[in-house]
Structure formats: C-alpha cells, structure tokens
Amino acid sequence: MPRCWFVFLFLSFILLLATAEASQCSIRGIPLVRNISELPQDDYGRGGLSHITVAGSVSHGMKEIEVWLQTFSPGSRTPIHRHSCEEVFVVLKGSGTLYLASSSHEKYPGKPQEHFIFPNSTFHIPVNDAHQVWNTNENEDLQVLVIISRPPVKVFIYEDWSVPHTAAKLKFPYYWDEQCLQAPVKDEL
C-alpha cells in the first residue's frame, strides 16, 4: 500500500517540524551555563547585523533584564527608534556614532546630537529619547553588548528625525522576538 506509506511519512514529517519549532521557542532544557558562540545568531532581515540574544525574555525566561550581543558591519545601524525601557550599551570592539535626540517633550526628535563611541566605552539611553547607533567606521565591525529592562522590547521606529513622536511606528514583537512571540491584543501593550 504505497499510498498509506506516503500519508504516514507526510504526517511524521509534519510532526517533526512541529517539534522542532516548539523546542526553538521553549525555555525548557536550556543549559544553565551557555556558550555564547553556540547560541543562535541571525541578521533578522537587517543587512550588516549579527544579533545574538545572550539572555532573553522569549528565549530564556528572563523577566526584568535582557542581554544582546550585536555586531554591526561598517555602515550598518539600528533604525531611529525610542522605547520606554532603560538601555545600556557596552562597546566591546570597533567604534561608531550614537545619534541622540533628547526631545521626548517636543513634537518630533529633531536634529540629534552626535556622540563618538569607542572600544571599552559605555553609555545609556534616557528613557523614551529617540536614538540610533551607527557603525560609522569604514574599516571595522562595531560589537556591542546591549542590556534592556522590561523585556520583550517594544520599539517605536522613526523613518527620519522629523517624524512626529505620535507617528512613529510600533514594531512589536521586535525582529528577534517575532518567531516565538505572538503580537498581543492592543490592550496588553
């Protein structure tokens, strides 16, 4: 009965896929001590980015802090964005520019201030200030450790610095949380 075998194989294949998907989005069975170089790494559709969630809400069950290791190739950058959580950067390698508009009380971000960031430097982003981190060094990758509070992160993205705060677009779940996190109904935000 070749047809029966085909159905069996097909169902087994579906089951296998479902299991694989579930385990990727489950925090069960992850080891306590993890090798960062063995953790999933992806650009999540953003050219020039390498993102690793070192300790995360969706991936490791963190409730109050989340840690990322990100590498930006020369010229690559975050979107212009804001969030209502705290965020700390530690620059491990390379250099670049932090653009920061301390304007949460104005109508739109406006021209940002430029800050040079360099190896072994640290900075934090004031809550709700629009900002962008840019690898403006043509010769070297920029590697940062990023720490945020209140994960998973809810990000408002600006097309440019003159977009009104009220028109910034919510991106939630954020790129690396999309696979395992469903968008909640609006009330939950």
Q: Which does 85 bind (CB under 5 to 8 A by kind): Zn ion, its own copies, none?
A: its own copies
**Pick from Zn ion, its own copies, none: which does 23 bind, CB < 5 to 8 A by kind?**
none
Q: Whose CA is closest to 125, among 66, 81, 169, 68?
A: 81
Return the range that interacts with its own copies (CB under 8 A); candidates 1-9, 74-82, 121-129, 153-161: 121-129
Which residues within the stretch 44-63 sit at the binding site for its own copies (CB under 8 A)?
54-55, 60, 62-63
Parallel, antiparallel or unpaired: strands 80-82 and 87-93: unpaired
Q: Is 34 in the site for its own copies (CB under 8 A)?
A: yes
Question: Minimum distance between the CB of residue 182 and Zn ion, rounded to whole angstroms?
Answer: 23
- Two tokens, residue 119: 């190896």
Residues 77-116: x/- map of binding to Zn ion (CB under 5 A)? ----------x-----------------------------
Residue 145 beta carbon to its own copies: minimum distance, rounded to whole angstroms: 7
Helix (H) or strand (E) holding 23, with range, is helix 2-24
**Residue 124 half-sphere exposure, CB side, CA atoms within 13 Å?**
10
> Residues, the chain, total?
189
Cβ 83 vs Cβ 156: under 8 Å: yes
| Cβ proximity of 110 and 156 under 8 Å | no
Name the site residues for Zn ion (rule: CB under 5 A).
Answer: 87
